[in-house]
């Protein structure tokens, strides 16, 4: 075997491999011994026909094809071992010629990541502010949650809850036909279409109201987009939400000792949420800064795999088991959607590789006890603890948790480097 190498961009190398005549002859002989047992040739028992007869019967190209199926992988394996290469995926093989056998194998190598001086990254966290307005709004949401729907004898207003009968037609074809539907009159509602709720305003009980709306261009049913829908609605009941007084009784019904305790807990929760958001944003900035000063070079196969994973996730997010079904519904080709996902894939892949290199540099590891503690934290809140424990004892699940913890620990280390000792910047206005 003769091998020459050709350096390529993006962590790939091409191996030009030529088989020796003796290597091809050996593979042809192996192919003959395999095929002669499988093929019936008139005048010969199976396995007894001479090679020349078999070759004449099936054709030289078929015998050669069988030989190459075994010869090419064998020579490729020998070549990467001789060259000291460590591929991360199967090669792209191109047969250049068959006699003598010459083929090219494009090999994908491990990514190459050169981190910049990440100790020079310096970021200041934004002060976390929780104002009185935010606390008051959160308290009001609790009050809303404790409100009760009470029947009223008046026309419909926005934010009411109504019971209604509805008929809807699009170009003479029935679209909706329901009775006794409960519907909250939210002006921003897109159910059944945007603008429907606003049309109900002023409707009187037990009186039919008819109106038309244009179906939006982004409606989920493609054939209805841009068409006019005619609606007939009869309101049978109107309810408005009556809110309780903002007092200790309200707080106690929501699970607090009193109104003051509720306000303090709400403020503390808002602070925690704001701090979490601030830390998350700071982490994004730190990671962007690290990527900016680093050099990342990887083979195209990794980007392809990332895009494929994103496509699968996108399909599942919309309730499709197979990406092909999602593509059909979205009316896009696979290549079109992959091009849309490419920038996201490149960013995710680059960030992941850079974080992995940082973890290597900082010697970040996750111990089995850390995984155990995380599993316990999750299962303690499960309804069926035994079933949850069985699930989280699966090796692949534990590995997933370990990877998640490893990423988080690496991000924590990056933030520690970028900010030093982060002081409590929380302020309440």
Pair of tokens at residue 305: 């795999």
| Cα 112 from Cα 110, distance rounded (Å) | 6
The CATH number corresponding to 2-110 among 3.40.50.620, 3.30.70.260, 3.30.70.1050, 2.60.40.10 equals 3.30.70.1050
Q: Residues 6 or more apart from 72 whose CB is under 8 A from it? A: 93, 95, 101, 103
265 and 232 Cβ atoms separated by less than 8 Å: no
pLDDT value at position 366? Answer: 96
Q: Is the pLDDT of residue 74 over 90?
A: yes
**Integer Cα distance of 121 and 118 in angstroms:** 5
In the chain, the percentage of residues whose pLDDT exceeds 70 is 98
Q: Look at residue 427 in the predicted model and tell me its pLDDT.
A: 43
> The domain at 271-428 falls in which architecture?
Orthogonal Bundle (1.10)
**CB within 8 Å of 76: residues ≥ 6 apart:** 15, 17, 91, 93, 105
Check: CB of residue 402 under 8 Å from CB of residue 104.
no
Question: Between these two residues, 125 and 351, which has the higher pLDDT value?
Answer: 351
For 16-53, write each residue's pLDDT tens digit.
999 999 999 999 999 999 998 989 898 888 888 999 99
* pLDDT over threshold 60, residue 348: yes
Query: Does residue 220 surpass a pLDDT of 80?
Result: no
259: pLDDT strictly greater than 50: yes
Arithmetic mean of pLDDT, 143-168: 96
* Cβ proximity of 263 and 428 under 8 Å: no
- Residue 429 pLDDT grade (very low, low, confident, very high; cuts 50, 70, 90): very low
Q: Note the pTM of the prediction, 2 decimals.
A: 0.75
Q: What is the percentage of the chain residues whose pLDDT exceeds 90?
A: 79
Report the pLDDT value the prediction gives residue 426, as an integer from 0 to 100.
40
What DSSP character marks residue 205? Answer: B
Residue 424 has what pLDDT? 42
* Domain 148-242, CATH among 3.10.50.40, 2.60.40.10, 3.40.1030.10, 3.40.800.20: 3.10.50.40
**Total Cβ atoms within 10 A of residue 290:** 21
Output the average pLDDT for the chain.
Answer: 92
Of 123-132, 246-255, 260-269, the one with minimum mean pLDDT is 123-132
- Reply yes or no on whether the pLDDT at 425 is more than 50: no
Residue 421 binned pLDDT confidence (cut-offs 50, 70, 90): low
Domain positions in the chain: 2-110, 148-242, 271-428
Q: Which of 223-227, 411-415, 423-427 has the lowest mean pLDDT?
A: 423-427
């Amino acid at each position: 075997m003769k091998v020459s190498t050709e350096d390529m961009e993006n962590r790939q190398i091409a191996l030009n491999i030529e088989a020796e005549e003796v290597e091809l002859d050996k593979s042809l002989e192996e192919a003959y011994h395999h095929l002669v047992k499988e093929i019936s040739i008139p005048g010969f028992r199976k396995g007894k026909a001479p090679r020349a007869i078999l070759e004449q019967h099936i054709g030289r190209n078929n015998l050669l094809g069988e030989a190459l199926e075994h010869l090419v992988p064998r020579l490729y394996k020998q070549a990467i071992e001789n060259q000291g290469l460590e591929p991360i995926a199967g090669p792209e093989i191109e047969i250049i010629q068959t006699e003598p056998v010459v083929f090219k194998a494009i090999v994908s190598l491990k990514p190459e990541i050169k981190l910049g001086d990440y100790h020079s990254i310096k970021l200041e966290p934004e002060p976390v502010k929780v104002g009185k307005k935010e606390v008051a709004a959160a308290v009001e949401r609790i009050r809303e949650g404790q409100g009760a729907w009470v029947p009223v004898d008046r026309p419909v207003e926005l934010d009411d809850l109504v019971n209604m009968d509805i008929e809807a037609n699009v170009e003479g074809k029935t679209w909706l036909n329901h009775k006794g539907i409960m519907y909250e009159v939210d002006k921003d509602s897109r159910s059944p279409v945007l603008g429907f709720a606003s049309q109900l305003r002023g409707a009187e009980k037990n009186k039919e109201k008819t109106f038309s709306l244009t179906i939006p261009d982004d409606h989920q049913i493609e054939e209805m987009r841009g068409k006019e829908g005619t609606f007939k609605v009869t309101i049978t009941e109107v309810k408005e939400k009556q809110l309780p007084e903002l007092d200790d009784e309200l707080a106690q019904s929501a699970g607090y000792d009193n109104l003051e305790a509720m306000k303090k807990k709400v403020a503390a929760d808002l602070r925690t949420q704001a701090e979490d958001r601030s830390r998350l944003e700071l982490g994004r900035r730190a990671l962007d800064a690290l990527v900016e000063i680093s050099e990342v070079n990887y083979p195209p196969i990794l980007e392809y795999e990332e895009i494929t994973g994103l496509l699968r996730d996108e399909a599942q997010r919309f309730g499709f088991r197979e990406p092909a079904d999602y593509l059909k519904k979205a009316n896009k080709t696979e290549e079109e959607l992959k091009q849309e996902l490419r920038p996201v894939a490149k960013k995710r892949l680059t960030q992941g590789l850079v974080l992995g290199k940082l973890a290597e540099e900082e010697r970040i590891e996750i111990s089995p006890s850390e995984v155990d503690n995380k599993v316990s934290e999750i299962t303690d809140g499960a309804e069926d603890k035994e079933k949850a424990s069985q699930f989280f004892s699966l090796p692949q699940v534990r590995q997933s948790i370990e990877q998640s913890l490893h990423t988080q620990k690496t991000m924590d280390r990056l933030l520690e480097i970028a900010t030093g000792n982060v002081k409590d910047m929380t302020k309440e206005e």
